[in-house]
Amino acid sequence: MSTASLNRAFALLLWRDLVLALRRRTELLNPLLFFVLVTTLFPLGIGADPALLSAIAPGIIWVAALLAAMLSLDSVFRSDFEDGSLEQFLISAQPLSVLVLAKVVAHWLITGLPLLIVAPLLGLLLHLSGASIGALLLTLLLGTPVLSLIGAIGVALTVGLRRGGVILSLLVLPLYIPVLIFAADAVASSGAGLPITAHLSLLAALLVLALSLSPLATAAALKISLS
């Protein structure tokens, strides 16, 4: 079980998920469309006053990004569970947490990262200032991997259930709150010209914590769900 075979397995699984996603290219758009759609609902509900919109834009965009990330979590293990490949991961020669990390990174690249492409457009939609959009991109870059990592734990716990989707949000959303608080406030503060280094370092700390702990929890959860 040398590190070479470990890296190869990691890269192989990452390659596999990216290839699978590209072969079903249309599904790549779903999280993005959801993200844009939810964000455009708010002005329709709240009114189009630019001052009001730009004040609440950071919160809206981040809540929408958070929901988009959560809704796309189901794809992380569902298809593997149904065709039996998840069992193959459990009995592979590589530690399960490394394989889980590969799958989560792939999920982030497929669903989390693309949110950054659309975010500036939504920023303009809600009259965000230039500095805020910059902060929005930075916080999304740091925040979305944390959403995928923590979400993977919830998905692993509910993968065996017939209707796990509803419970997934109850398990995962409370754990998303710190990311939402720091990220949304970073975007708001940068709009007001305040420094956001504190926010970004806290988000980075959450990312490091999630990177080191959540694959272990996800692996343990998978072993239990599949036992």
Partner 1 sequence: MTAEVMDHGLEARGLGCVRNDRQLFADLSFCLCPGQALILEGRNGSGKTSLLRILCGMRQPDDGQLCWNGEDIFRLGPEYHAQIAYVGHRDGVKQDLTATENLRLARGLGAPNPAFGIDAALDQVELWEHADSLARNLSAGQQRRLALARLLVTWAKLWILDEPFTSLDSLGIGIVESLFANHLAGGGMLAVTSHHPVSLNDADIIRINLST
Partner 2 sequence: MLRFFHQLGSPKHFYRIAGSWIPWLAAVCGLLMLYGLYQGMVVAPTDYQQGDSYRIMFIHVPSAWMSLFIYVVMAAAGAIGLIWHMKLAEVIAISSAPIGASFTFLALVTGSIWGKPMWGTWWVWDARLTSELILLFLYLGVMALYGAIDDKRTAARATAILAIVGVVNIPIIHYSVEWWNTLHQGPTVTKFGAPSIDIRMLIPLLVMAVAFKLFYLLVVLMRARVEVLERERNARWVRELVEAP
Question: Binding residues for partner 1, per CB under 8 A?
Answer: 1, 5, 8-9, 12-13, 16, 19-20, 23-24, 82-85, 87-96, 99, 223, 226-227
Question: Nearer Cβ to partner 2, position 10 or 182?
Answer: 182
Q: How far is the CB of 92 from partner 2 (least distance, A)?
A: 21
Q: How far is the CB of 3 from partner 2 (least distance, A)?
A: 27
Q: How far is the CB of 21 from partner 2 (least distance, A)?
A: 27
- The item of partner 1, partner 2, none sharing an interface with residue 34, based on CB under 5 to 8 Å by kind, is none
Q: How far is the CB of 104 from partner 1 (least distance, A)?
A: 17
Question: Nearer Cβ to partner 2, position 118 or 168?
Answer: 168
Question: Nearer Cβ to partner 1, position 23 or 162?
Answer: 23
Q: Please spell the DSSP secondary structure of the chain, one letter per residue.
A: --HHHHHHHHHHHHHHHHHHHHHTGGGGHHHHHHHHHHHHHHHHHH---HHHHHHHHHHHHHHHHHHHHHHGGGGTTHHHHHHTHHHHHHTSSS-HHHHHHHHHHHHIIIIITHHHHHHHHHHHHTT--HHHHHHHHHHHHHHHHHHHHHHHHHHHHHTTSTTHHHHHHHHHHHHHHHHHHHHHHHHHHHHTT---HHHHHHHHHHHHHHHHHHHHHHHHHHHHHT-
Question: Nearer Cβ to partner 1, position 16 or 127?
Answer: 16
Question: Nearer Cβ to partner 2, position 42 or 182?
Answer: 182
- The item of partner 1, partner 2, none sharing an interface with residue 160, based on CB under 5 to 8 Å by kind, is partner 2
The residue assigned the tokens 């590190």 is 3
Distance separating alpha carbons of residues 183 and 17, to the nearest angstrom: 28
Which residues of the shown chain bind partner 2 in the complex (CB under 8 A)? 153, 157-158, 160-161, 164, 167, 170-171, 173-175, 177-178, 181-182, 185, 202, 206, 209, 213, 217, 220-221, 224-225, 227
